[in-house]
Structure 1
């Protein structure tokens, strides 16, 4: 190989021309050297090696080459993506026919003898065409790189990357040099067996484009395999002769949209599961005909007594026509019209089932369900069958009436003394027994002063014993104003509150002056009477307590289902509808996707917190020896990153070991410390103190058992604090003092803390001043 010619000017480098011979005319070589940087190669193999090492701007080849003739060389050069764009001029003898098929066609031919200036002119024309083509291709590449989607051009049956814009390279996490000039399965070997190559082949062979929608592809990106979802088009690329020589790929990554859609579907599934798995009977009606969309097993088994297949998709009043003559259709219509929930307690309802007409007393709520346009699309119904409780209360009332008749028939006086407030109620018969006028009210002191002086000590001893046993019983003589000798038997029952403090004394007084001889029989009657009073009181208290608890849980659950759970769901649906508008640019699309993800995460967190809150009293976890130092260490580890970011300082006393449920105390510590870290505008300072409260001191603290030793824990911080008037409201579920935009959360944390403390038979109080921090005091039994 010989090399001639030098740059005429450092600022104007000569273009490179490769002459492939033999024969190569020395005169032609000298002529070219004046204008171009000229290189020569004596055969095809040498030429190919030179081209791969230093790409020329133009190639001139004769057809008479040893081993591999000129036309075969042309075919090799034009079929290679790396050399197909190099202008190629063929010098052919007259005797050799010019081959002009698609794969071996040169850019220009000179046959036989020709003037040297003709060749120079042809060279200039081809170089000018190549420069124009290069500028055009550069412009096209610039346009492609500015496109908001990934675009690539694949050439030949092996789908060699000819070009790929920046967005496409970003989608596959590759550099330009990693893919250009390489077949697709070489550049992206992970696509093998994913039907991508087969789809490209089908487009190449049939000429029909292929549209992929949310198509999953596994790509090796950032050092690991990732499943990516694409919307894409494979468009056949045709040459000037209408022959398909490649495929244009246009693709966009919709992974976040698909994941958001999956999150929405999962949220809807969890909401339906929440209804289905609820321990309270629930159903959902849709539209003005009240089509039954879903009903949980509790409702189906306890009231409707039908399988889901018999009711789902049916109209409510077709299944239960007996409701037409009751209040419920009108109530449903009003909720559907106004969007205002309706709640009623102990409503009487008659419901027909395969077992016959049933009579029920129901606590129920009709809560509207809103669509994305804020129109009422349905009603979620929560029902609590309180038939047994109501009938039990009615039975107690009837028993009380019968007992009252019995007391009146037995000529017994009765009284009810509130030992806390001093309020005293008594029957007319009691005043008559004591010889008092029935025309005016008499205070309790008047009755106690009417005991004969000889029996004051007996009365005092009886009351002293009653404070211990809860039962009052003694017999005494009265000092009546009319000096009539009167013997009375007193009996009563002291009722205590949940903290074992005496609250009320329910008592009777029986005139036994003429019945001393029948004392034994009268004692049995009094005992029976006392027993029945006790049973009635306990039964009434238990029934009322159960009604209050059940009604409260029903109201809370209905509020969640109709409001808090619907809010993020409506937001997600709205943002998805906005995404379907094709006018969005990439930035607004990302913003909407972030909002969808945020709403889905909020709904997931809300559902998780609600489930934790509802499951707390039903836990099977056992009380065990629990080291509070270990609990605190675990919580500090959980918040390690946040503590470091906020430079928080947490100090504490040496904490004792108590009998408790470790998992619940971990949640308690985590919620309180998490709030102190979150609600702070300066470096958080948190101190946890622990002191023992002896039995004599615990008696003066509200809602603590008087015979227990307690541990007093105090969590104090320097956060933003709150007004003291909200000290009790903050423990209410979903109650928030700060906007969600300022501080994240579901409004369940402190309600969960209170429930955990009560589950341990303790109590929790809060004290705070705005901008001066908050203090939470917890009493737990040792």
Structure 2
């Protein structure tokens, strides 16, 4: 006590507390002593008391005795300093743990008292980062057992890992998928280290997002791999090989799909280990290698055709991050078809030339004998009629009739062949003028039939004037020929934009068409014969009652098709017939 207050022992008796220790007021000792006297209860507390050299910690006990106090002081400075240092170290450790981006957890093994086997772990310390991995705060974890909070650790394999580390003292790392009955799941990577007996430190992270992204990338890569390997296009990736001057001297294949290996007839080991020019030295002479280099240097893609292993390919080269991607499409079959088509076109051209020759023969050579037959028939009828018997005159009339029919048939065949033989350039055609000219030519026939022709406003369309004239004339003549004997004939010619849902199947609904109707109230026909009406030489009525060769409607169909259109017919027996003609509003692009 003498050392504490800095006075000799003999000088202490008789002095007041504040005289002996003036700091007792500031440090609260005097107040505590007064409280002890008031309450009459012994008080024990720790107090930091200053000295001349350095401060000391004391355990102070104040015990009431009569009207005074018995005060004892025990120096606890060493113990207190050790506690303060331990607390500082703990605070520093906590700050270090909480500053870590990794989740850190200290667990102590819980063993079965009988067998000594680890049955669980108690979580003693956790840093703030565990919230990011386990979605629980350190306070929620500390003091709890592992399997109580996270029962899925056994099935996932983590519990076995922790047990091995606690028993063997050997550190381990692992990556597992965790899932439990509480719905908590995810991928975790963990490192477990033994810090002391039965005490292990876990450093771990929830890598679910990264793992799912990785799995998604792997799945995407697998899908891409499958697409590439099942593609019929050969695709390969090549890396340039450069010399010391930076010049491209070769290429190394770093990726090739299955079709590429098949096309080039190379083993995967050869194609991916040997350079391009090693496998294909001829590429330098064929300018193929120079094309590859040019794409690398300019960045501009290139397309060309080559023949390899008796097959023909269209090759496309494109830059790809300093490398080149080469795709090759086998066009051998396509080229064969092209050659066959060219041969067929030549054959067709020869056929067209033969058809034109036939047209010439039909218009000259075939008609000349007919004209002679008709001339001789006329002579027989006009000059020798009186010298002929009735039978001979009848045969002469039959000869003339057959010759006239033959001549009409030749003319119709000629007209049909001219429609199919060639297609002349289309020009704007005013359909009202075409119909007006046709009606003028047929004026006598229309008058004899006592027919009424009603023509609405018709458009101007791209086409061939003479062919469209054939079309309208044949349709009107057809109506005049097959008129009803019970009522006056009325022919109506009208036009409107064709509704897309009414277009025939062979026409595109994306193009615009005119719908031109030629309707009459004539005899009509049974629609079960509809498929025959546009065929050559097909007649629904006998030739004795109705003249004609059966070619007129076939010509109509050919004319419409030569204008990229379509024709259809509907009819009711005894009521009339309507022809529907679909013609483009605009000329098709060549």
Higher Rg: 2
TM over 0.5: no
TM-score by length of 2: 0.45
Which gives a bigger RCO, structure 1 or 2 (Cα 8 Å, sep 6+)?
A: 2
